[in-house]
Structures are given as structure tokens and as C-alpha cells.
Amino acid sequence: MMGECVDGAVVEAGKCSEHGKKLVYFCKGEKLRVCSKCAIVGSHQGHSVVPVEEALGELKDLLSARSKDLESKSLEQSLRLEEIDRNVTTAKEEIEMLQHQVGNDFAALRNFLDAEEKALMEEIAAEAQGTLEELDRLKSECLQRMGSLKRLAEPLNSTLQTDNLREILKVLNTTSDGSDCCETMNDPIIRFKGERFHSPLQYRVWKKMFQVIQTVAEPFTFDPLTAHPYLEVSTNQRSVTPRCEALPVAYADDRFDTSLCVLGNEPLSTGKRYWEVSVRNSAKWDLGVAYSSIPRHGDLMYKPSRGIWCLTLREGCIYQACDELDIELHIQHKPSRIGIYVDYEGGVVLFLNAETMQMIHVFRASFTEQLLPLYSPCIVEKSSNEQRLTIFKLIL
């Protein structure tokens, strides 16, 4: 019968080599089976010793707990794998949709440009054909007159060689001075009117291109009825400036009374919208969108969970995306104009450097309420003009 190693000695299975007793106890510290004498007076005296049956139960409990832990971790990885597979499927669908959209958008632009080029080429060809045909007609008439005048001049030239008075008078009386064949010789000589095609062609076509562009910078406005008393909204409602003193405005439920904010007039509840805000050289501002139901009284918390998706600037160089935990953004070139793009159904709020059209940050969300643009030029510190926010209007 195979033996068991206990304290370095090989013994019969279930018996202690030193004391000859059954190994009915288990030393937890050295993880060995021992007899009662080993536990009381032997080498395992003072160790944590328990009956084998109890140790077996504890070890099985440990195995069971470890097995459940591994099973739980395996389940976590299975769920993670399922989420990865879902994201793969979603990513493929979004990529396919985006590629289709980009293809359609560029196809529309190409079709527009091709149609503009074709129409302009046809217009040039028609103008050229009409001009050249008219010049050919004038040239043909001119050649005919030259032939007629030459024929009239021939008898005159030959008569110049004689001194016969009668002959000279005869020729003068029988020949014409050519005025009859030159009655239309003063018809205006037209020229090709190319100057009508010499305008700034690309700029002209670019302006016409807006008829096929679905999303362009819109001239949004500020809602003065929501503006904090320390904010002055311009008459055309396209600029807002912080003041050192409060304006004498009426209290209203819609007006901010603590946060130095103002909302836009334009609700966003469907489709895609884009607008640009000129921030000039301002050292601080807040820009974004918010649910129209956000509180107007008390401090605002710029967080998506509070219905606000916002980008901020502080100290002229610290840009932050206000997520549940603020995200500091590293921007190399300070933009003087910020573009804000909202795709309501797509759940996107995108901030851009409007001069380079480079992305600054994007929020993903599932909107459940009407959105409104949110602005804050922050508390005035130096020249208020430096902190003015102005909605950019595209001049077409």
C-alpha cells in the first residue's frame, strides 16, 4: 500500500510514522495530516490543527468559493464579450451608414458641380457660336463688297492710262462710286463678350452650392428673456456681453438669477443643426446645449446627467468638456470661433474649431427632451468687449 509523506517520513496510509496513530487531524499552517500526539506534544504543537473532516469541509468551501469566483469572472468576461460583439455590430452599422452618407453627400456636390460646369460650358459655347457665326457673316459680306469694289475699280484704273477726254467721261458716267454696295458696311462689328464669364467663378458657384448643402452655419440668436441681469444682449440678439452692473430687467421664471447664462431662441428637437460662435480672444466662456427644462434659479451643474452638454475655457488656455467627470482637452491652436453641431436623432453634440473644421470634442447621448443652445461669457474682469460672444452669420 502506498504511504504518505509526513514530516519527511514515509508511512503507511493513514498512520503517523512517529507515533503510529491515525492521521485524523490536519495542520493548517503546514497543510499536513497529523495524529493527535503530533498536535499535542509533537512537532505540530501550538499549530492551528483541526479534525480532518473539518479541514476537508473548509477546503471544499474554499474550492467552492474559488470556483464561484472563477465562474463569476468567466460570466463577466462572457458579458464583456457580448458587449464587444454588440459594439462590433453597432460599429459596422454606423461605419456603413456613415460611408453611405459621405458618399451621398459628395455625390450631391459632384453632381451639382458637374451640372454647373455643363451649364456654364453650354452657355459659353452658345455665346461663342453666336459670336463666331455673326463675325463669319460680317466677314463674308465684307469680302463680297471688296470683290464688288475691285470690279468697279478695274475700268477706272485702265482708263487712267489714256488721255482721251471722251473715254474718261464715258467711264465716269457709266461706273459707280461703290456706295450702293456698301450701304451696310457700317454694321457694328461684334466681339465675344467673355467678361460675363470672368467673374469670381469659384466664389459664385460656392454661393450657389448652398442650395444643395443640407447643414450650414445658421444665424442663431440669444433669448434676452433668459439672460442673467449682468448680461447685455444686443439689439439684433446676436451678441451678448457681460457687464459690471446689473441691467434693470424684470424678474422672470425663465431668467437665470445665479449662473451667468443665456439661452438661444432656437429649439432643437429634430434633425441636424449647426451654428458658430465668435469667442474672439476671450479668456473664458461656456458653450453648449441644454434641455429647455433646466433650472433657471440657483447654480447650474454642467453635466449630461443634468441635461447639459457643455465646453468651457478658463484662463485663456484650459479647455474642458463637462462630462460626469470633467475632461481636460489639449488644443494646440486657440480657436477664435467655435462651431457647434447637433444631430438630435443621432445623439451627437460636436464642438469644432470653426476656422479649421477640426473636432475639439464630441458628446454621445440619447436625447429625450427639447434642447436649447446655452451660452455664458462668464463674469467680466477686464474689458467687456474681450468677453463678448457673437453668433456668426454666414454672408451669402
Per residue in 139-190, pLDDT (tens digit) is: 988 888 888 888 888 888 888 888 888 787 887 777 766 666 665 556 788 8
Higher local confidence (pLDDT), 210 or 299:
299
In the prediction, which pLDDT does 177 show? 66
For 190, residues 6+ apart whose C-beta sits below 8 A from its C-beta are 131, 134, 135, 138
In the prediction, which pLDDT does 83 show? 93
How distant, in Å, are the alpha carbons of 11, 17, 18, 32, 102 from that of 8? 10, 10, 11, 11, 77
Question: Which grid cell sits at 220?
Answer: 442663431
Question: Which grid cell sits at 2?
Answer: 502506498
Per residue in 49-102, pLDDT (tens digit) is: 888 888 888 888 889 999 999 999 999 999 999 999 999 998 999 899 889 988
In the prediction, which pLDDT does 172 show? 77
For 227, residues 6+ apart whose C-beta sits below 8 A from its C-beta are 233, 240, 249, 255, 256, 261, 262
Per residue in 122-146, pLDDT (tens digit) is: 999 998 999 999 999 889 888 888 8
Show contacts of 195-203: CB within 8 Å, 24+ apart.
196/127, 197/120, 197/123, 197/124, 201/120
